[in-house]
């Protein structure tokens, strides 16, 4: 049996509160209450509500980038790699839609220093997709005129689903969305 630490409870409570109320409307008292802690306990682990948001954002971006890197690392043809990257990246966003919504919509609430650090991870994600596409173009498997623009469009399939995807409300599962997005990405760029 895994024991959940106080910090993990606090982060989970922050995700719940930020996703439900937004960063600005959430208080440290809200977070502490959801975690079953006193408001002062928040400051044992984080010096501010913003640093808690930064932690959630940083960990979310790192996890999403790791998903991409693992998918790329499995190898295969350019089309197989593209499909796997889009599939896994979309599945991660669907499975973690609350975190995804927070890190996308609360980015401007971060301090300039924290925004810069998260922006570096966003660029790494974008570069990883560009590299997948460029490899496919170089190998003649993908037909892409604008690699940078196409990378952003394909990433948007996954990232933007956090705006509307609600796993508890029925509809497509995370796996179904991931498969759809992989198909769409292939149809967008594969050489016919």
Q: Are 39 and 58 within one domain?
A: no
CATH number of the domain residue 32 falls in: 1.10.10.60
Position 2 scores a pLDDT of: 67
Q: Are 68 and 20 within one domain?
A: no
Total domains in the fold of the chain: 2
Nearest to 16 by CA among 37, 32, 40: 32
Contact assessment for residue 11 and residue 55, using Cβ atoms and an 8 Å cutoff:
yes
pLDDT in tens, 92-137: 999 999 999 998 889 999 999 999 999 999 999 999 999 999 999 9
Tell me: pLDDT of 169 over 80: no
Neighbour count for residue 41 (Cβ, 10 Å): 17
Q: Are 90 and 175 within one domain?
A: yes
Q: Are 43 and 8 within one domain?
A: yes
Contact assessment for residue 129 and residue 42, using Cβ atoms and an 8 Å cutoff:
no
Q: Which of 47, 62, 81 is the last residue of a domain?
A: 47
Contact assessment for residue 78 and residue 135, using Cβ atoms and an 8 Å cutoff:
yes
Q: Are 97 and 37 within one domain?
A: no
Q: Are 107 and 167 within one domain?
A: yes
Q: Are 166 and 123 within one domain?
A: yes
Q: Are 66 and 135 within one domain?
A: yes
Q: Are 161 and 80 within one domain?
A: yes
Position 1 scores a pLDDT of: 64
pLDDT in tens, 46-77: 888 999 999 999 999 999 999 999 999 999 99
CA angle 161, 167, 171 (to 5 degrees): 85
pLDDT in tens, 144-166: 999 999 999 999 999 999 988 88
Q: Are 97 and 30 within one domain?
A: no
Q: Are 102 and 145 within one domain?
A: yes
Q: Are 130 and 175 within one domain?
A: yes
CATH number of the domain residue 118 falls in: 1.10.357.10
Range of the domain at 180: 48-189
pLDDT in tens, 20-50: 999 999 999 999 899 888 888 888 888 889 9
Tell me: pLDDT of 3 over 80: no
- Rounded Cα distance, 192 and 63, in Å: 33
């Amino acid at each position: 049996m895994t024991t959940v630490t106080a910090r993990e409870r606090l982060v989970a409570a922050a995700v719940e509160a930020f996703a439900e109320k937004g960063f600005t409307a959430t208080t440290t008292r809200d977070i502490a209450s959801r975690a079953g802690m006193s408001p002062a306990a928040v400051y044992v682990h984080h010096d501010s509500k913003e640093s808690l948001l930064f932690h959630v954002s940083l960990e979310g971006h790192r996890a999403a980038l790791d998903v991409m890197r693992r998918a790329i690392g499995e190898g295969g043809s350019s089309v197989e790699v593209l499909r796997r990257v889009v599939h896994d990246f979309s599945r991660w966003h669907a499975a973690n839609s609350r975190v995804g919504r927070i890190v996308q919509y609360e980015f401007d609430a971060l301090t300039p220093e924290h925004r810069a650090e998260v922006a570096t991870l966003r660029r790494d994600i974008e570069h990883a997709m560009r590299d997948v596409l460029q490899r496919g173009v170089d190998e003649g498997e993908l037909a892409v005129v604008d690699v940078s623009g196409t990378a952003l469009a394909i990433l948007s399939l996954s990232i933007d689903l956090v705006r509307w995807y609600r796993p508890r409300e029925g509809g497509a599962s995370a796996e179904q969305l991931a498969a759809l997005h992989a198909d769409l990405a292939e149809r967008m760029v594969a050489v016919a």
